[in-house]
Structure 1
């Protein structure tokens, strides 16, 4: 399942983490699992925090946790803010309420609490934790060297997809050997469990991740590896090396099962994009 590996330059041990609910599993999570098992290196495991869903796929590399049992802090957060309009994407405007994903902390909290739990769970046995959004399809065989090459190392706490605005957090790789890992995790998770997210300009996970990152860089507690581009603020996931192997079906791209040609900022040679 998961193998202990020393922090060596040539090869690292990895675990990939994601989460979804019943509808998400049927709409995209099942495809995420199937393509992961088909195309990822055989010694990398996928951990799913499943919300009220029985996952049909069975494989020695697939570990499924019952979200309601394994994430008690998420349960507490939902109990505290489940009826809070501001925590569920609503803001008052002149003619009533406006809904916007940027304020939907409850929706995005699943990811935050899953990352925190997995980081604490695997930090003594695994080198790198990769968060992968469940609406991601792997379309080509991924070499082990590619995954190792993206990994944050040394004083780099995480590798992420930077862009002109807040990061794209469909992929984030965490260095589980970093001495400040638990500091980051506690702050990331704590921004939600403490209610601090209500004081921020936006409260989705990408914005909160960005704020914690900025503070840690400013205080020189850690460095962060940038995998994206400062030239775009749109679909950065498919416009870097990741797009050669995966496609992130953000938003209404799920219905089509593929990102749009106009999402690409340059020509890609891979068969998936032809």
Structure 2
């Protein structure tokens, strides 16, 4: 258990160091301490929060900063762990604005349990179950951007010889679930800058103006929208889909066109602006939440 706690601490310290040194053009997002019932230890709650941090960090989409890295925010966050203060989001809005925070991620852990089971040969084991909710808040005025509840049990519940081992094993699915969470609330948006390959009147590959700086990953999926004007208002019409073939540089990626190749080519020839917006990229399609 001591080794596990050390790993959690070192992981968070490394994240804080990264966040302070990263000056790329990304949204700055703070992550709060998570509230939880007294039946859940601070150690286990922090273990879950650490997995959330790891998962978001690995997406490389935002500059993620732990409130524990700022003394004033740390004190306020600890105060707000009390149930009576959890709704007081605007208590540190001025501090957040000064630090340039775009959003604040809050967490509410509902349960962390394990059930006793027995194999066919009579061996005892435990199956973990974890449930929690994440909120994305604008710290300047307390408005809610979105909320998502996650439950990891059954197929996504970890297994162990003790209750604690089963719960800790289940936390691996917490990290995996952050891929879809980031793609839902911290989308990338750019445009197609050039159609590279065309076959039989269909776009096969295109270049987009998003790359390493924005956190684009190989196999990242995008929806393609044509910008159109309707009754004097600019609107968007979905016309296709892309899959990143190669991240070429800070601001360029080469993508395969997986849907809508003919319309993408036609609109590009007409000079229509083609906007790309990231979408969920995990193969599980939200299975874990």
Normalised by the size of structure 2, how large is the TM-score? 0.30
Question: Greater strand percent: which structure?
Answer: 2
Question: Greater helix percent: which structure?
Answer: 1
Which structure has the larger Rg? Answer: 2
